[in-house]
Structure 1
Amino acid sequence: MRVAIFENDGKKSQKVSKELYQKLVDAHIPIDNDDPEIVITVGGDGTLLAAFRNYQDNLQNIRFVGVHTGHLGFYTDWRDDEIDDLVISLQSDNKQSINYPLLDVKVEYYDAEPEKFLALNESTLKRINNTMVTDVYIGDQLFEKFRGDGLCISTPTGSTAYNKSVGGAVIHPGLESLQMAEIASINNRVFRTLSSPVIVASNDWITLKPTQSGDFIFSVDQEIYHNKQIKMIKYRVAKERICFAKYRHNDFWKRVNEAFIGSDYED
């Protein structure tokens, strides 16, 4: 079993990463950052997102494990003081895993070649200076003409991130779906949107066709893109999935409770 360590630049994460590296060496577990079977991230959810991007071309062969050096995240199961237990789990690994849906994002431009992205959390489209006007299709049918600041399309695991902050629903990652949440929509007697999150099944898709050109901000997870003339963006549940080594993968609703409520939760 080949293991890679992927850490952020924080002092604590760097320290934990060095300790973990030595413990893996002492346990005779091969370390291979180029072609790993397991990627251990040391940091937080942002670090795991960065590792996901780094290894997304080989997701079918990789399982992720998250070690958090700050607050408990949705993708990090282990604390920094538990790396001895993590190494023991790696030594007794039997390929156990849990996998979650990803977001397939295809973008067509007026002034460039098409691009494809994978998102673990979400993708957004916003306009910088003026109201964004965008035709929204679900499947092949025109659903609405959106006017507002922007739209957020998220995965079930990403539903607790930016999606939740703009009023989207929290969705269990066992559901094969994607969600569209509005960002400051305009609703009056002249202009009208559904003004509610929309959850779409895996056999359908969402297409955005902006009616203007220029000054868009398009994002995929932590990456931001601009200065391209966007013609159309198509979102659907990806064929690819992300896998986590299921040594002690915490219950999703327990994570939600700890992150947002903080009361006692019984499994």
Structure 2
Amino acid sequence: MRTRIASGLLTAVLAILGLATVFPFVWMVLSAFKSNKEINAPEQTFLPASWTLENFLAIEEKFDFIRLFGNSVFLAVVITAIAIYTSALAGFVIAKYQFRGRGLLFGFTVGTMMIPWAVTIIPRYTMFVDAGLQDNYLSLIIPAAISGFGIFMMRQNMHAVPDEVLEAARIDGASEIRIFHRIVLPMSVNSIAALAIFQFLWVWDDYLWPYLMISDNANQVLAVGLTTFAGQYGTDYGGLFAATTISVLPVIVVYILFQRRFVAGVASAAVK
């Protein structure tokens, strides 16, 4: 009886927290179908009093939405793919190979996760400007190509790969690169899916670093382009809500596609 009551209370608390988390997003989506007059009205309603698609139809008139959306998709996909590969490779080496300094290397990798990002932004900016990479996508790709969190997560997952399988492949004459690509990666799909969601989300939502490094509006990312709706004397909330609603669709699609593997991957890494 106590177990049922505790379970019911826990479910109720989680439901309330879930609704509190989702409510702002739902409000934003519904507001995208309202006019600015209705959005700024003193008396607010949850559902639009008068549904309109004008905010969505006028997005391209405000700024080059399609181009910026494409830029963000390109960067998110490229950076995510590179980060996954480097994290899996480094995690495999640290977890399955014995060499001097392995513990120190892993400790240093984990230590990078403890350094606040704001501490490194000025020296990083200076370094890339001196290298002539300002207004270049390499300035966005290179810093995110290696992820301390990704290496940590993949290293935890690699411990679940049986050593006997790797030894059997070596006896059959498989090279280490072939073992990594044909055996280790397929056995790490769950963790790769989980890391892909995290990395894609981080890149997609990144605002400050692209704002500092990319000056050409044609090469800018969507997160920075959304600030176009905020003017000096007012904000086009209808257009902002509509553009933001569309901008979150890729993240939602990626999560829905990899939801099961995401949960399994996070759980396996946490257990280890």
TM over 0.5: no
Structure with more relative contact order (C-alpha pairs < 8 Å, separation 6 or more): 2
Higher strand fraction (1 or 2): 1
TM (normalized to structure 1)? 0.26
Structure ranking higher in helix proportion: 2
> If the length of structure 2 is used for normalisation, what is the TM-score?
0.26
